[in-house]
């Protein structure tokens, strides 16, 4: 479905979504791709890493737990006022710091992985 969406767009947004998808797969081997909310690509590992939404003017990557992620590359530029999500809006012609973005993908996956690990039971008193 994501391949079909990229082809359907047929413009810079499709090219950008394909590029972001490639970077995600390089950064998080084995990432799961799902299709939710009436046509939104979602990248997951032990929970949602981020979405890959396309709008008329932007390609938006929304990180479900973005507020908990380090962002030394200052990539987050949207949804900055919430307690959980953070997003990156990419406009036509904008360059992306691929190294910083891959690190953000890895940090989001690691956060999910840490939350998914079973907690050790406390010994009975």
Residue 66 sits in a domain whose CATH number is 3.90.1150.200
In a domain, 118, yes or no: no
CA angle centred on 46, ends 69 and 110, rounded to 5°: 35
Q: Is the dihedral of CA 29, 95, 90, 110 positive or negative?
A: positive
- For 33-58, what is the HEC assignment? EEEECCCEEEEECCCEEEECEECCCE
Domain assignment present for 123: no
Higher-pLDDT residue of 67, 121 = 67
Query: Whole-angstrom Cα distance, residue 109 to residue 92?
Result: 27
pLDDT at 54 (0 to 100): 93
Residue 119 lies in a domain: no
pLDDT of 79:
87
Flag whether 93 is in a domain. Answer: yes
Beta bridge partners of 106: none
* pLDDT tens column, 8-19: 888 999 999 999
Q: Is 25 among the domain residues? A: yes
By three-state DSSP, how is residue 31 classified? coil
Summarize pLDDT for 82-118 with one digit per residue, the tens: 889 999 999 999 999 999 999 999 999 999 999 887 6
Residues in the chain: 125
Domain that holds residue 14: 2-111
How many domains does the structure of the chain reveal?
A: 1
Q: How do residues 21-77 score in pLDDT, each as one tens digit?
A: 999 999 999 999 998 877 889 999 999 999 999 999 999 999 999 999 999 899 999
Query: How far is residue 108's CA from residue 10's CA, in Å, rounded to a whole number?
Result: 29
Planar angle of CA 21, 26, 29, nearest 5 degrees: 100
Whether pLDDT at 120 is above 80: no
């Amino acid at each position: 479905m994501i391949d079909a969406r990229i082809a359907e767009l047929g413009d810079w947004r499709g090219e950008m979504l394909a590029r972001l998808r490639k970077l995600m797969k390089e950064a998080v081997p084995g990432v799961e791709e799902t299709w939710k909310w009436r046509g939104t690509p979602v990248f997951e590992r032990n929970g949602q890493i981020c979405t890959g939404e396309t709008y008329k003017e932007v390609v938006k990557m929304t990180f479900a737990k973005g507020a908990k992620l380090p962002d030394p590359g200052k990539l987050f530029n949207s949804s900055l006022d919430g307690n959980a999500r953070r997003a990156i809006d990419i406009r036509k012609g904008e360059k992306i710091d691929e190294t910083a973005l891959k690190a953000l993908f890895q940090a989001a996956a690691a956060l999910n992985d840490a939350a998914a690990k079973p907690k050790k039971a406390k010994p009975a008193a």
